[in-house]
Amino acid sequence: MSRLLLFCSLLFAYSQSSAANNFSYTYLEFSVGALTLDEAIRINDRQYKTLSAFSISRAHQFDGGLVLHGGIAGAHAEKGKTELGYGQLVIGVAFPITVTDRIDIIPTSGFLAVNAEACVDNVCLKSDDDGILYGLAVRAWLSPESVEIMTALANSTISGSATEATLEGAFWWGNHHSARLTLSSADSDRSVLVGYRYSW
């Protein structure tokens, strides 16, 4: 019963405040960077510690309320005749809740598919899995319409998954453009991404 009451209270707060969110949740974003593994992975005589990473995401907010979002992300490296790669696909919904005139809280949930691939001489071993993604983020203006900060925690129902913590800073110019620096950390890896977002 307590979970039901909590859920209903969140929906009430969402319905009361969603029309006046502090941020745009309709956007297209591209990011590039690096994924660093806490423990190197060895394929034959090659060691992999850092991989090139990227992400592409798109979101659309309906009438200042529900947000539908999706994205792909990946990391890849090659050494000699070996390769190592990771990828993920996310499709989900988010529910921005305005707390103050500078802060939004964003519960989110969705579908997550992940895959990994290791190759030697073009012979590859692949694995994939999928599950439900869930998380909570907080967005805040440090300087209104100029400097933004976001923190988030996310996990999934995929076996062996761990909570990922994210910290992101953004510098805005105009109403549509922002440059973003995103730092993420889980129990076995961490990533740094630099990106550009166009918001409507």
Per-residue pLDDT of 84-98, as tens digits, reads: 999 999 999 999 999
What average pLDDT does the segment 121-138 reach?
Answer: 96
Q: How confident is the model at residue 192 (pLDDT cuts 50, 70, 90)?
A: very high
Tell me what pLDDT residue 63 has. 86
pLDDT, one tens digit per residue, over 13-42 is: 444 444 458 899 999 999 999 999 999 999
Output the pLDDT for position 94: 97
| Mean pLDDT confidence for 101-125 | 96
Task: Indicate the pairing of strand 82-94 with strand 27-43.
Answer: unpaired
Domain 2-199 class, CATH top level = mainly beta
What residues have CB less than 8 Å from 24, skipping those under 6 apart?
61, 199, 200
Write the pLDDT tens digit of every residue in 33-89: 999 999 999 999 899 999 999 999 999 999 868 999 999 999 999 999 999 999 999
- Residue 12 pLDDT exceeds 70: no
* Ranges of H-type helices in the chain: 2-17
Which is more confidently placed, 15 or 193? Answer: 193
Share of the chain above pLDDT 70, in %: 90
- Tell me the pTM: 0.86
- Distance between CA atoms of 62 and 188, rounded to whole angstroms? 36
- Separation in Å, CA 191 to CA 34, 59, 92: 6, 22, 22
Where does the pLDDT of residue 189 fall: very low under 50, low under 70, confident under 90, or very high at 90 and above? very high
pLDDT at residue number 64: 66
